[in-house]
Chain A
């Protein structure tokens, strides 16, 4: 028996991240988070305590054999496995990611299934991969019957949310976001870069990256999770400020509406904390424009100023002789 031909070099990595508040009244401590994210008994949950606690599940695989989404109607079947994982930041923000690497070409016939299983997170096309069309198709979203990374991420999220550890008493209402990303492989030594980051309606974000060979697909997934986490924090805080009607309403009510932000969100801002070092430069572009951290700090300062203003009358009353 001859050894199976190894798959070609991946030219594209695609993924989708769902980010949302964990439906639980209190943040989970690391022990409970580890229990929640133990998706497999044969692999470890990764815990990083600093600078902000983050728990990362082992990866689980979903076997796929279906057409890839592709712009312009190019049909291209792919076979292999999609990797999925979940991360919980500070016991509060739950993220699930599904991602897959795609090589430039693949055999014209399906291999024995075992050969796909030894290459987790890789799906081989039949023949040549129409790289540009597939990248566009993934960002646009899968149609019925096509490889849908969103469904895989969604199923994992639903499975976790059903866990009996969670009480479904959320401390505040918030929306989830979906981030679809594609990373085009560039030769090793080239710089990793963020080529495009867009906000679409309905909580959808799309990201295009350049990813040097040699940087693991999992690192790109981690980078996108970090980006999605901070985008979600910004979006959620902005919605809270809108809802509180700070500009229109007066008095303690408006400020009280912001209390969940202080309790649950303000301490989570830690961009790049869990990003692979080869990819931290990607963040720098975002800090320059639109200036993620600048926007965050402005919002945080606004909340703190309002809280301080509300405290003045109380202080005044406490100090004045009755």
Chain B
């Protein structure tokens, strides 16, 4: 299965949440790969803590592969190459987790012809190898988005299930921008239809992920004044209504990731050690990520919204 992680704006936690989802699925026994299609600013190597391995693969990243400059894109075995101490100590039954890094440099290129062929070849090949392929796309309606829309519209890709996650923060601007990215006139669905996708099928495969959402019931906010509390609740409700009007309401939401400083500032994988031993991360975050990871393949969550 292919999971495309998209967002309209930066700072939505798309890469770090996506990486955490890949990590959690691998822990659960799936063979997972993470493709860094964020060509302008590849971040995945930092999230997985494999910077040295990343540097070794300097000119053989996904960009070089798609442009026809490398025969085989570099892949990094995260478990073997990570500097993160916890990630090197794995429970039995853990699946493979591999990173296909982006290139540090690399301009735009056309999502047509040979480049598109290579993209299709790669996705097909990886689908035969991995249970889950998570593709991190650069923010906005980028050429990476165009390329995977064109690739998944190809007839040889019809047996491969693909799903879209649109990440956004819980603010008016972010909600509006995310809904536009998904369903707007220049959005993912419209762009897909223009490339031969069936509108209903594509639309049914799009879900939103709200990140950095304050949980108003959490003890974190229990000390605020009654006025502040009332205001927060009203704003939260307003945002829900806005999302619903724009087509990003709760039935199209796959999950919510709470506001957690560890996720925001460290921008790395949250391990059970962070929750249980050092206790710097919130259990709610750990659980939310686990639930979201589970829902990626839970068909009940992907029935017609």
- Partner-B contacts on A (CB < 8 A): 20-21, 23, 142, 144, 148, 150-151, 154, 158, 161-162, 164, 166-170, 173-176, 178, 201-202, 243, 245, 248
Contacts and interface: CB of A to CB of B under 8 A. Distances in A.
Contacts of B129: 173-176
B90 to A, nearest CB: 13
Contacts of A151: 71
Contacts of B77: 201-202
B38 to A, nearest CB: 23
B125 A161 contact: yes
Interface of B: 29, 31, 59, 69-72, 75, 77, 80, 92-93, 95, 117-118, 120-121, 124-125, 127-131, 155-160
Nearest to B127: A168
A168 B59 contact: no
A84 to B, nearest CB: 13
A178 B125 CA distance: 14
Given A169-B159, A201-B77, A176 B125 contact: yes
A150 B117 contact: no
A163 B160 CA distance: 16
A96 to B, nearest CB: 13
B128 A173 contact: yes
B69 A170 contact: no
Contact of A161 (B59, B80, B93, B124): B124
A150 B121 CA distance: 15
B128 A248 contact: no
6 contacts: A20-B128, A158-B121, A161-B121, A164-B156, A174-B129, A175-B129
Nearest to A247: B92
Contacts of B117: 158, 162
Contacts of A167: 159
A69 to B, nearest CB: 12
Given A158-B117, A166-B156, 15 more contacts: A23-B124, A148-B71, A161-B121, A162-B121, A168-B128, A168-B156, A168-B157, A168-B158, A173-B31, A173-B129, A176-B129, A202-B77, A243-B29, A245-B92, A248-B92
A170 B117 CA distance: 20
Contacts of B125: 20, 161, 176
Contacts of A144: 59, 69-70
A75 B127 CA distance: 38
Given A168-B157, A168-B159, A173 B71 contact: no
Nearest to B30: A173
A313 B278 CA distance: 47
B122 to A, nearest CB: 9
Contact of A150 (B59, B72, B80, B93): B72
**Interface-centre pick from B59, B121, B130, B160 (highest chain A CB count, 10 A):** B121
Contacts of A175: 129
Contacts of B118: 158
B130 A173 contact: yes
A245 B93 CA distance: 7
B72 A170 contact: no
A173 B131 contact: yes
A52 B47 CA distance: 48
A201 B81 CA distance: 12
B283 to A, nearest CB: 27
Contacts of B29: 243
Contacts of B157: 168
Nearest to B154: A162
Contacts of B156: 161-162, 164, 166, 168
A37 B92 CA distance: 41
B93 A248 contact: yes
A238 to B, nearest CB: 14
A173 B77 CA distance: 17
Contacts of A23: 124, 127-128
A23 B59 CA distance: 29
Nearest to A154: B71
**Interface-centre pick from A21, A23, A248 (highest chain B CB count, 10 A):** A23
Contacts of A202: 75, 77
Nearest to A249: B93
A174 B96 CA distance: 12
Contacts of B92: 245, 248
A217 to B, nearest CB: 22
A22 to B, nearest CB: 9
Nearest to B70: A144
